[in-house]
Chains A and B, each alone.
Chain A
Amino acid sequence: MDRSSGRRRFLKSAAALGAAIPAGAAAQSKPAPAPHADHDKLHAQHMRAAATAARPYMFLSQAEVAFLDAAVSHLIPKDELGPGAKEAGVTYFIDQQLFGGYGTMAKKYTQGPWPEGTPQQGYQSPLTPAEVYRAGIRDTNEYCRKTHGKTFDALSRAQQDEVLKGLDAGKIELEQVRSQFFFNMLLNNTIQGFFADPVYGGNRDKAGWKLVGFPGVAAVYTTFIEKHGVPYRAQPVSIADITQKVAQVDEHGHAIHVMLDDKAGV
């Protein structure tokens, strides 16, 4: 492979890799040539730059972003193990999901009538997920204002934790949506955003995959499947790593993983 052209492709793609800026925006970036820069260092710089760049929220208002940033930081907190959901870009992931097909009930049955049904009958809300968030955030903030005089994002960590537990247990009654319905949707989407391929805007810097030891796009494991008890430790590879040619692939398109040589045991 021609080294310089490969590097150009990498530079072009670095922003999209880190923060899932829409493809058009990434293509417009014009990186300076850096013929002798160390690949990993350069990659890290771009990841940091991308992480701090303002990202175009498409559905959520600023108030809703503040609410979700606060909420997801409790659901998956930042701690000694690494970044939490907020740092991993989960709020942005949720924004993108709500703006897209998921938020508008794509491929789902939306005809009424809409009785609430039994728990065994599942999702029966006339609201789309986008509408559930809008209503749930508004109502939860209203509850917080009444109870504490502030919106959710302005409460103390302990107060926020109490409110989330109240929603989870169904103890806080919301006006427009059932509190557990809203909470479960938020929790599920948070976990999805933390572990989904970074192409969707969450799992930034593959924080979720690094946490659990998941390598992302798979390699060929035909040999390793029989290495019983030997942990397979690899730098996770995302879809964009491959489409942007940051990661190597074999003839079938499987990732060729770069192994980590730590001695962390099992």
Chain B
Amino acid sequence: MATKLKPVDVVTVGVGLTGTILAKELADTGLKVVGIERGRWRDTDPDFAMPGAHDELKYVIHKELMQDLSKETITFRNAMNETALPMRQLGSFLPGEGVGGAAVHWGGLTWRFLPWDFETKSRTLARYGAKQVAEDCTLQDWGVTYDELEPHFNRFEYLYGVSGKAGNLQGKIIPGGNPFEGSRSKEYPNPPLKTAYSSTLFKQAVEKMGYKPFPVPTAANSRAYKNEYGATINACVYCGYCQFFACEMGAKASPQTAVLPVLMKNPNFELRTLCNVVKINLDSEKKRAVSVTYVDSRGREFEQPAELVLLTSYVLNNTRLMLLSGIGKPYDPVANTGTVGRNYAYQTPSSVTLFFEDKNFNSFMGAGGLGVAIDEFNGDNFDHSGLGFIGGGFLQAGSNGARPIEIRPVPQGTPRWGGEWKKAVAKYFNRSFGITIQGACQSYRTNYLDLDPTYRDAYGLPLLRMTFDRHENETKMSVWLTNKAAEIAKTIGPAKMTVTPRTGKYTIVPYQSTHNTGGAVMGADPATSAVNKYLQSWDVPNVFVVGASAFPQNGGYNPTGTVGALTYQALEAIKTRYLKKPGALV
């Protein structure tokens, strides 16, 4: 029997990137905010301290910072006619666990999606007509435009101290930046990071080919930076332990560096760690959330009443909690009705690896997002007529820190073990680099999330079931983009190269990307979206569902910058409109 607690104004379910920002700002308005986090408290000191922070086995192989699947996982299948089975160990993607969430072990790349990305459907139909889009593709507009989000992108970039170079400042194209980006009102708060050797070779090659290279925007701060909340983010030292690791320098922006030092001092905020929310309780008409039920680390069950419930967990858990709680109508792919679980999408990463005999790249150095990119082949920046696909991705080369358990490239045809393998690993560890492609992923009627009929979590509740495969659009796009990268690679002139487009069935085994999207998508039409443009549930207006769960399909970028912008947009709507007059904002 749950112990009923004293009501509060706001509960955030999850205390990661989105939850900390919302909690900070709402606690500042005087509201009582409780952040409920299933994992433990973690901070730069002592949790991410040297030298233990530089332990590849612990962080990359044993996944210290990531979700404990013994308590909760998902089930997975490629198609509806298969039986979904549990993801027993982490692989393809790595949700976080603990305060800060996945924004502790993220890579730091902080992009703005293109203006086109927010209007994928209408702009595709206008330029190419319906024939360009696969029959079962459920692409749609976001119900919000880039221009509406621009000030919110700005705020997030200034909060996290993003290092980069503007390419379109107030409509004016700036040399050295990304000329394809939407117009930005301000320059990045910090200048770009330094340039790695591999990036320089890439830059020279693409300039020769007529493309416009620019530094990848990243939240690995290029200098010590104090944000608007008064939190200080340190300067990156290029140590190379970035993605999958926590930053011992506090230089990769995260909730720990950018928000929590201030948030934790606000007496209006209370953090409850090792507490797992299992349900949002609704009133009898299912129109209003009245409380959340959670179980603490001693197995005690509590009911926390709140006026406003913010689902600020990862994509997968946001969707699962809606399904478990009866918020909105579950998606049914056969009848093509319902919205919760609809339009699950992912990323289509691919790469070309270049091997040299006479060049050493010190591949173990670097930072998350340390790279030079081109955007000629992203979104609709190029003519897709006759190509048989929509979407694209950015191409980049950089140095993100190679560690030899995970990253030890060998040329195609090298045996998997033995003396020849050993020689190749020794030779190429520091004499290779990749051109990587962050390919987009469209949404389809048969790619979706629902509750599994068989497998249960540690609390006896159904696991989330993922049904997902890559479609022809993504395969064609990946082959085409990867060939473009191969042309660049040839211009650079390696001794050998391996071209690896993303083809074939999606597999949950090897790491690909923690860029899961959708499941509680935003839009202008309640028939095809679970939340409105302010990320407010259409069905239960005192619930906001914040995160990449709102992306109707995924763009050719890392999602975090856009997640940050959506968070600030939701926040502004809550502060300026919802709190004054609680109810549906649209």
Interface residues of A (CB under 8 A from B): 74-77, 79, 81, 84, 101-102, 105-111, 113, 115, 117-124, 164, 168, 187, 190-192, 195-197, 199-200, 208-209, 211-222, 224-226, 228-232, 237, 239, 242-243, 249, 252-255, 266
Contact = CB atoms under 8 A, between A and B. Distances in A.
Interface stretch (B55-63, B102-110, B150-158, B550-558): B55-63
B576 interface: no
A242 B422 contact: no
A108 B249 CA distance: 30
Contacts of A225: 194, 196, 238, 362, 365-366, 370, 399
A119 B509 CA distance: 8
A89 to B, nearest CB: 14
A233 B286 CA distance: 64
A74 B417 contact: yes
A107 B70 contact: yes
Contact of B91 (A117, A122, A191, A195): A122
B216 to A, nearest CB: 14
Interface string B31-60: 000000000000000000111101111000
B586 interface: no
B455 A111 contact: yes
A253 B82 contact: no
B87 to A, nearest CB: 7
B387 interface: no
B584 interface: no
B357 to A, nearest CB: 9
Contact of B85 (A124, A215, A231): A124
22 contacts: A105-B70, A106-B70, A107-B70, A109-B69, A115-B83, A122-B88, A168-B417, A187-B417, A196-B57, A196-B61, A197-B57, A211-B425, A212-B429, A214-B429, A217-B50, A222-B235, A224-B238, A224-B365, A225-B365, A226-B195, A252-B50, A266-B431
Interface residues of B, number: 73
B271 interface: no
Given A217-B51, A218-B239, A225-B366, 12 more contacts: A108-B88, A108-B89, A110-B70, A120-B78, A120-B505, A122-B508, A191-B405, A196-B405, A214-B404, A228-B197, A231-B362, A237-B51
Interface of B, secondary structure class, is loop
Given A113-B454, A239-B51, A242-B50, A266 B360 contact: yes
B70 A229 contact: no
B222 to A, nearest CB: 10
A75 B417 contact: yes
Contacts of B349: none
A229 B55 contact: no
A220 B50 CA distance: 12
Contact of B55 (A197, A208, A212, A253): A197
B302 interface: no
Interface string B58-97: 0001110000111001001110001101111101000000
A139 B91 CA distance: 28
Contact of B88 (A115, A123, A212, A219): A123
Given A211-B422, A229-B197, A110 B88 contact: yes
B430 interface: yes
Interface in B504-540: 505-509
Contacts of A237: 51
Contacts of B50: 217, 242, 249, 252-254
A249 B52 CA distance: 13
A180 to B, nearest CB: 11
A121 B248 CA distance: 35
B362 A102 contact: no
A32 B509 CA distance: 51
Contacts of B248: 252-253
A193 to B, nearest CB: 9
B358 interface: yes
Contact of A218 (B196, B240, B430): B240
Contact of B419 (A77, A113, A252): A77
B418 A208 contact: no
Contacts of A199: 55
B329 interface: no
B578 interface: no
Interface in B380-439: 399, 403-405, 408, 416-419, 421-423, 425-426, 429-431
B200 interface: yes
Contact of B365 (A102, A120, A221): A221
B480 interface: no
B294 interface: no
Nearest to A107: B68
Interface in B239-278: 239-241, 248-249
A222 B237 contact: yes
Contacts of B77: 121
B188 interface: no
A121 B430 contact: no
B63 A121 contact: no
Contact of A266 (B91, B240, B358): B358
Contacts of A208: 404
B456 interface: yes
Interface string B448-467: 00000011100000000000
Contacts of A196: 56-57, 61, 405
Contacts of B408: 191, 195, 212
Contact of A119 (B197, B362, B431, B507): B507
B73 A109 contact: yes
B239 to A, nearest CB: 4
Nearest to A241: B51
A81 B423 contact: yes
A84 B419 CA distance: 9
A266 B54 CA distance: 25
A214 B403 contact: yes
A239 B73 contact: no
A219 B249 CA distance: 12
Given A212-B426, A252-B249, A221 B239 contact: yes
A43 to B, nearest CB: 18
Contacts of A117: 83, 85
Given A217-B50, A231-B362, A212 B399 contact: no
B364 interface: yes
Contacts of B454: 113
Given A121-B508, A197-B56, A211-B425, A108 B51 contact: no
